Amino acid sequence: MAQTDPGRLHDMLEIHALKAAYCRYVDTKQWRRLQALFTNDVVFEGFGSAPTGASLATFITGISSRFEKAVTVHHCHLPELAFNGPDQARGIWAMMDVVDLGDHGRPIEAPDHRGYIGHGHYEDGYRRECGRWKFSFKRLTRLRLDPLPLDYPRGRADLLPATPDWLDWK
């Protein structure tokens, strides 16, 4: 199937929605929903919250404990997608993240600081299972990492929170 076929364009939109959900679930700390976005045999590389080759359970445990009290913002842009079969694809996404651990720890990436602003790329593998696209591989590469100093200004805490089930029509 060519990348411009209507069915393939629908697949691309589903993968875009998968990536958007990944960023939102991490930032809003919806760990159970985050876990559901991955195949059981997913492989991780380059994440501070889990060592290379970590299992899905290790990744979810690592990211949830590391970011539980942190303020994080993840943005992904300009996807490049390639399909290597009817139910398999790969993608590269430009990314930027802000991780502010506040007084709740120091990042592995910047141990003398309270967080960082990072830029790089996600290299993802996708597989369709039971009619849904899921992550089967996830690699995080970095081009730049700017540490947040300990005296970085505190963000406002009086903001309207996200509605986790906004898209769940009843």
Measured distance CA(56)–CA(39) in Å, rounded? 8
Measured distance CA(29)–CA(104) in Å, rounded? 16
pTM for this entry: 0.92
121-131: per-residue pLDDT in tens?
999 999 999 99
| b/e 71-89 (16+ beta carbons within 10 angstroms → b) | ebebebeeeebebeeeeeb
102-115: per-residue pLDDT in tens?
887 777 777 788 99
Query: pLDDT at position 1, please?
Result: 46
Nearest to 114 by CA among 150, 88, 78: 150
28-72: per-residue pLDDT in tens?
999 999 999 999 999 999 998 889 989 999 999 999 999 999 999
List domains and CATH numbers for the chain. Answer: 6-148 (3.10.450.50)
Question: To 5 degrees, how large is the angle CA 20–CA 25–CA 26?
Answer: 105
CB 44 within 8 A of CB 57: no
